[in-house]
Chains A and B, each alone.
Chain A
């Protein structure tokens, strides 16, 4: 009888479904930011992919902070673009995301702007001492990065995200490229 139910599910479940926007925001709208980019980092991890990844994070004590953080996550989306020269992306292409965050009542807790650089950090409140997500928008002349993390987070998870957790640095590749670009400028 169980097999019959399984079969029924499969027959009924294979109707084509509309493609829902990820986590309420369609990250495809950010693709135009990177049209002229020399290097692109696009990461889209929904809850299924996060579960798969979590299975390979290790069982040791050192991995515990990372595992417990990932357990609470529903999605991670990163769009990071590096350019060879300035003026190769439009700041206005970030407005749809800002508008979405505002409409979804995320709080912008940090906004730091200077002549050439800008950083914003948003948090989404989700009840008593809980957060529904953290978003970062960082722009500078030759790089723009968006990070969007949703899930069931505690305020101390933000500290975890900027801590070590046994995660290696991004990689000398990005740093070397930036250093070279700066040197080319001089």
Chain B
């Protein structure tokens, strides 16, 4: 079977497609994490199977705001934010130009008709 160049990368992507861990992977990680804690932790298993637990855990993760520290990650995040700001202003500038252009075109066409 011949592989054309353009298909090769597609085949490579398909071959290396991410594979999910075993079903009990999360439980094993939690069990080992619990064993690291000084006090015994009660972990309700298989809570992770219940959608409500997913939502709660996701909410806790989002809510866990740790004061930003001076770090490489923070610096990169700020650079991304500045780039996003630049793009936002450009997008709004283009929007304004196009809305104004539309208004001018409508006015021009209206005058032509009249």
Q: Which residues of A contact B (CB under 8 A)?
A: 1-13, 15-16, 41, 43, 45, 49-50, 52-53, 55-57, 66, 70, 76, 78, 80, 110, 112, 114, 117, 119, 121, 136, 138, 145, 147, 149, 158, 161-163, 165, 167-171
When C-beta atoms are compared, the residue in chain B nearest to A73 turns out to be: B88
Least Cβ–Cβ distance between A76 and chain B, in angstroms: 5
Residues on A with C-beta less than 8 A from B89 are: 167-168
Taking residues whose C-beta sits less than 8 angstroms from the other chain, chain B's interface range is 35 or more
Residues on B with C-beta less than 8 A from A80 are: 94
Majority-rule SS of B interface residues:
helix
When C-beta atoms are compared, the residue in chain A nearest to B103 turns out to be: A162
CB of A4 within 8 A of CB of B97, answer no
Majority-rule SS of A interface residues:
mixed
Given contacts A43-B91, A119-B101, A121-B102, contact A52 B80 (CB under 8 A): yes
CB of B106 within 8 A of CB of A112, answer yes
Partner of A7, one of B18, B29, B58, B94: B29
Inter-chain pairs besides A9-B61, A117-B105, A167-B96, 14 sampled, C-beta below 8 Å: A1-B41, A4-B30, A11-B29, A41-B90, A45-B91, A50-B84, A52-B84, A66-B92, A78-B94, A112-B102, A119-B106, A147-B95, A168-B89, A169-B93
Query: B48 within 8 Å of A by Cβ?
Result: yes
Partner of B88, one of A76, A117, A119, A138: A76
Given contacts A4-B33, A16-B18, contact A10 B100 (CB under 8 A): no
CB of A4 within 8 A of CB of B41, answer yes
Residues on A with C-beta less than 8 A from B43 are: 4
When C-beta atoms are compared, the residue in chain A nearest to B43 turns out to be: A4
Residues on A with C-beta less than 8 A from B77 are: 52
Partner of A170, one of B94, B103, B108: B94
When C-beta atoms are compared, the residue in chain B nearest to A119 turns out to be: B102
Q: Which residues of B contact A (CB under 8 A)?
A: 17-18, 20, 25-26, 29-30, 33-34, 37, 41, 43, 48, 53-54, 56-58, 60-61, 64, 77, 80-82, 84-85, 87-103, 105-106, 108-109
Residues on A with C-beta less than 8 A from B109 are: 112, 114
Least Cβ–Cβ distance between A115 and chain B, in angstroms: 11
Residues on A with C-beta less than 8 A from B98 are: 119, 136, 138, 145, 147
Partner of B100, one of A43, A149, A162, A168: A162
Q: A168 CA to B17 CA in the complex, in Å?
A: 45
Partner of A53, one of B30, B85, B99, B101: B85
Q: A171 CA to B105 CA in the complex, in Å?
A: 21
